[in-house]
Every structure is written in structure tokens, then in C-alpha cells.
Amino acid sequence: MLELNYTTEMEKAMHNSHGIGYAEYSQKLEKRMDVELSREEDYRKSQLIHAEIERRMKK
């Protein structure tokens, strides 16, 4: 089991973003992998948006 320190605000954000709490996240590898893949996808999307904004500002 993964030991995590988290606040109530972090718990709410985890539920809102991924539909699970930190207890389940820390106990189930499959759930952790789902959450991390989702986070990685969100990061990639944000990088594309950032690059597009930068490109438009240079025109």
C-alpha cells in the first residue's frame, strides 16, 4: 500500500477529477495507472494549447 499525505481539498479535487479518493488510489494499482494516464493526457493537451497560444502571439 502506498502511504500518502493529503488534505481535504486534495481529496475533493481527486474525487472531482478522477472519481476516486486517495484511499482507493493508494490501494489499487490499476486505479493509480488510470489516474496517471489521465493526468499525462491532460498535460499533453495543455502543452499543445500553450504551444498554439505562443505561436499565435508571435504573429
- Digit-coded pLDDT (tens) for 4-57: 788 999 999 999 999 999 989 989 999 999 999 999 999 999 999 999 999 999
Q: Indicate if the pLDDT at residue 59 is higher than 80.
A: no
| Residue 58 falls inside a structural domain | yes
| Residue 11 falls inside a structural domain | no
In this structure, how many other beta carbons lie within 10 angstroms of the beta carbon of residue 20?
A: 15
| Residue 23 falls inside a structural domain | no
Domain hosting 32: range is 28-59
Number of residues written out for the chain: 59
| Residue 3 falls inside a structural domain | no
Sign for the CA dihedral angle at 23, 25, 28, 31 comes to positive
| Residue 6 falls inside a structural domain | no
Helical ranges in the chain per DSSP H = 8-18, 22-27, 29-57
| Residue 35 falls inside a structural domain | yes
What does the pLDDT read at residue 46?
A: 98
| Residue 54 falls inside a structural domain | yes
What does the pLDDT read at residue 36?
A: 97
